[in-house]
Chains A and B, each alone.
Chain A
Amino acid sequence: MRIALSGNPNSGKTTMYNALTGSSEKVGNWAGVTVDKNERPVKRAFYTGDERLIAVDLPGAYSMSPFTGEESITRDYVRGESPDVIVNIVDSTNLGRSLFFTTQLLELGIPTVVALNKSDLNRKQRTSLDPNRLSELLGCPVLSTVSTSQEGFLELVSVAMSLKGKEQRAPFVAKEIDPSDPDAVRAEDRRRFAFVNSIVREVEQKSHRASEFSLSDRIDLLLTGRGVGILFFSLVMFLVFQISQVWVGGPIADLLVGFLEQGQEAVRGVLSTAHPLLVALLVDGVIGGVIAVLGFLPLVMVMYFLIALLEDCGYLSRVAVVLDPIFKKVGLSGKSVIPFVISVGCAVPGIMASRTIKDERERRAAAMLAPFMPCGAKIPVIALFAGAFFDGAGWVSTVTYLSGILLIFLGALLVNRVTGNYKKRSYFIIEMPAYKFPSIWGATKSMFSRGKSYVVKAATVILLCNTVVQIMQSFTLAFAVAETADASILAAVAKPFSYLFYPLVGVLSWQLAAATLTGFIAKENVVGTLAVCFVGLENLIDTEELVLLEGSGAEAAGIFAITKVAALAYLMFNLYSPPCFAALGAMNAEVKSAKWFWGGVGLQLGVGYTVSYLVYTIGTLIISPETLNVPAALLGLAAVFAMAAVVLTVIRRGDLAREMQAK
């Protein structure tokens, strides 16, 4: 039996869906049931009886009116898949708005039960609702629920199941109108709203009016003010990084790495009589590479925890409001802030979030620029270099995020210039949900769930890559055992690329080139591959040990054979060049055009290279000009000029095309 969950976005529908269905790895229990993409079996704990219950998650929608573009999805689904019952999840703190969609759902003829969600908030605000009267007026069962605590779930499921096969009459029937006639549609919608308003008046008693100025509003006024808003936001971001990398995450990571390394050495000891190549394969390649990435797990988990707190309390929409005027200056809007903020965790969902941006050009720009924000996978890379070269200084990571934001601005300006965007009228509206104290438990769950993904990725994709890299480093092209790493397959493959990196780091290092290349599969691989190429690298992650080593920055520099400036430049290249294949795929899916996709990739390559080159060259000129590798610098300059020339040509061509069109 199928129950379809439908309702406004942000009504708690997703929370309920996740709670009802949970994650079920034991698909074995449901052998024979084809579980489709947005359908999952409901957990057994919620109901009894023989019949299997499957919940279907329909996309959130505000209405099924023709103009919003979301009209067909729900209707088509109902017609095509015929769920047995519809569960309409309603944000009961905003009944007036939510019931609009409800009345439309009721017209579909499928038995429906209404869940008045967020009842806890209503209780707090001392708003009383009369579910019985509402049930009479709507012609369907009405229950109170709280998604976050699963209150009312059991009753909801049992009522839903009892509705199967029953008839559903609509309390409000829309007149037959011509959907392409906007006035007729509008008039009909007004009738519907009038009906809804009358229901709400009867059913709802508010103890204070929604338009009153509350404490929440006072806070908002402060936090969304221009100067204060940005300062506060910067402070928040700084704290997030400081806590995750220096105060809490860092020390835990050190402990973890120390512990893991003991295990590693123990294994090495046990295998002391085996062929050294095989030992290296297992101990340094497989185990060592994974340790290098897992060592950063505490940092990443703390960051995910803090981000979950931020997401939950409702602050993020305020961030969008604060940054909107700034983003408007570069042709984006506050709406793009959300993709960028999500990208701090992972670029893939961040890029997909750009779907909410209505303006096509802005959406594509957001999708292409989101990867400039360092994602969770890039944190190990940042932390590694910060720890190895800069004594774990907090400013390194702050700089990378700020640079990411700066590059987004510059990138947006460039996109504007290329597409010839002239101040188009664009509107910005974002809902500001009431502040709520973030759920610590929710954030913890989120931290573990995301942390688990990180571990899974490390134990699978990264482990595989590291093993391959280790093998490639141990054999020559003739498949003989390589005497030195320089004669290996890995070196042979990476050497051509090392010339490209020459202007960025001042040396020809195939190891660095190899690391960056593997980074396209997963950015964590940069750390993993470096660990394989420079055995003993794991020690550099242990910042406590670093303190004991004298001149640790120099030590790292000695191993890598690059200067601190070059290290920073190399780091930046890895951060701002095209993201991993998964993110590139998401980008391609969002921009939906080969031209834009390759343009985006080109932009990212160009920006990464240019930024890296400038950092290295200018940095070296400032700090130690005598060490500057002049031929490399000149080559790099040529490359940068070439890229600039390409950009200018594209702009010119675009301008000409537009001029032609205008005539």
Chain B
Amino acid sequence: MENAIILVTVALILGAIIGYLIRSHRRGKRCIGCPYAKECTACSTDGCVEAPKTEEKEK
């Protein structure tokens, strides 16, 4: 029973994160976690336009 809870919790967390990242990329928001995203010279929205996608599930 507990095992199921853990699995579901972890799955939910990971799913939420991945969903958030995909949605942000679709909206054109780059530099997730970049503290200067709002003040970057290359962007006027809250995401640097010319920075590349941050690789997510990679080693």
- Indicate yes or no for A touching B, C-beta below 8 A: yes
Chain A residues within CB distance 8 Å of chain B: 14, 17-18, 23, 27, 35, 37-40, 57, 271, 273-275, 278-279, 281-282, 286, 304, 342, 345-346, 348-349, 352-353, 355, 376, 449-451, 453-454, 456-461, 463-464, 467-468, 472, 493, 517-518, 521-522, 581-582, 585-586, 588-589
List B residues 29-59 near A (Cβ within 8 Å). Answer: 31-46, 48-52, 54-59
Q: Is the CB of B14 within 8 A of A582?
A: no
Q: Is the CB of B45 within 8 A of A37?
A: yes
Q: Is the CB of B34 within 8 A of A346?
A: yes
Q: Is the CB of B39 within 8 A of A14?
A: yes
Residue numbers in A under 8 Å from B38 (CB-CB): 18, 23, 449
Report which residue of B9, B13, B14, B34 has the largest number of chain A beta carbons within 10 angstroms of its beta carbon: B34
Q: Is the CB of B48 within 8 A of A456?
A: no
Q: Is the CB of A40 within 8 A of B21?
A: no
CA of A303 to CA of B59, assembled, Å: 30
Nearest Cβ distance between residue B35 and chain A, in whole angstroms? Answer: 3
Who on chain A is nearest to B9 by CB? A282
Q: Which of A271, A449, A458, A459 contacts B6 (CB 8 A)?
A: A271
Q: Is the CB of A460 within 8 A of B21?
A: yes
Residue numbers in B under 8 Å from A23 (CB-CB): 38, 46
Q: Is the CB of B17 within 8 A of A349?
A: no
Who on chain A is nearest to B24 by CB? A460
Q: Which of A348, A459, A585, A588 contacts B40 (CB 8 A)?
A: A348
6 smallest CB-CB distances across A and B, nearest first, come from A457-B33, A585-B52, A450-B35, A274-B2, A38-B44, A349-B36
Q: Which of B5, B43, B49, B54 contacts A581 (CB 8 A)?
A: B54
Q: Which of A40, A282, A463, A588 contacts B17 (CB 8 A)?
A: A463
Residue numbers in A under 8 Å from B2 (CB-CB): 271, 273-275
Nearest Cβ distance between residue B25 and chain A, in whole angstroms? Answer: 12
Query: What are 30 A-B contacts with C-beta separation under 8 Å?
Result: A17-B44, A40-B44, A57-B44, A274-B2, A274-B5, A274-B6, A275-B6, A286-B10, A304-B35, A346-B34, A346-B35, A348-B31, A348-B48, A349-B34, A349-B41, A352-B40, A352-B41, A353-B41, A453-B33, A453-B37, A458-B33, A460-B17, A464-B14, A518-B59, A521-B54, A581-B52, A581-B54, A582-B54, A585-B52, A586-B51
Residue numbers in B under 8 Å from A376 (CB-CB): 35
Q: Which of B7, B52, B56 contacts A582 (CB 8 A)?
A: B52
CA of A451 to CA of B50, assembled, Å: 22
Residue numbers in A under 8 Å from B59 (CB-CB): 468, 472, 493, 517-518
Nearest Cβ distance between residue A518 and chain B, in whole angstroms? Answer: 7
Residue numbers in B under 8 Å from A282 (CB-CB): 6, 9-10
Q: Is the CB of B35 within 8 A of A281?
A: no
Residue numbers in A under 8 Å from B33 (CB-CB): 453-454, 456-458, 460-461, 522
Q: Is the CB of B44 within 8 A of A586?
A: no
- New contact pairs (19) apart from A271-B6, A461-B21, CB-CB < 8 Å: A35-B45, A37-B43, A40-B45, A275-B6, A286-B10, A286-B13, A346-B36, A348-B40, A349-B34, A352-B50, A376-B35, A450-B36, A459-B17, A460-B17, A460-B32, A493-B59, A517-B59, A586-B48, A589-B50
- The count of A-to-B residue pairs whose CB atoms sit within 8 angstroms is 133
Q: Is the interface of A mostly helix, strand, loop or mixed?
A: helix
Nearest Cβ distance between residue A357 and chain B, in whole angstroms? Answer: 12
Q: Is the CB of A464 within 8 A of B18?
A: yes
Who on chain B is nearest to A301 by CB? B35
Residue numbers in A under 8 Å from B10 (CB-CB): 278, 281-282, 286, 467
CA of A459 to CA of B48, assembled, Å: 20
Residue numbers in B under 8 Å from A342 (CB-CB): 36
CA of A457 to CA of B52, assembled, Å: 15
List B residues 1-29 near A (Cβ within 8 Å). Answer: 2-3, 5-7, 9-10, 13-14, 17-18, 20-21, 27-28
Who on chain B is nearest to A455 by CB? B33
Residue numbers in B under 8 Å from A37 (CB-CB): 28, 43-45, 49
CA of A279 to CA of B14, assembled, Å: 16
Q: Is the CB of A468 within 8 A of B57?
A: yes
CA of A376 to CA of B28, assembled, Å: 24
Q: Is the CB of B55 within 8 A of A581?
A: yes
Nearest Cβ distance between residue A335 and chain B, in whole angstroms? Answer: 14
CA of A467 to CA of B11, assembled, Å: 11
CA of A255 to CA of B9, assembled, Å: 27
CA of A589 to CA of B50, assembled, Å: 8
Q: Is the CB of A586 within 8 A of B35?
A: no
Residue numbers in B under 8 Å from A353 (CB-CB): 41
Nearest Cβ distance between residue B4 and chain A, in whole angstroms? Answer: 9
Q: Is the CB of B32 within 8 A of A464?
A: no
* CB within 8 Å for A586 and B50 given contacts A38-B45, A349-B39: yes
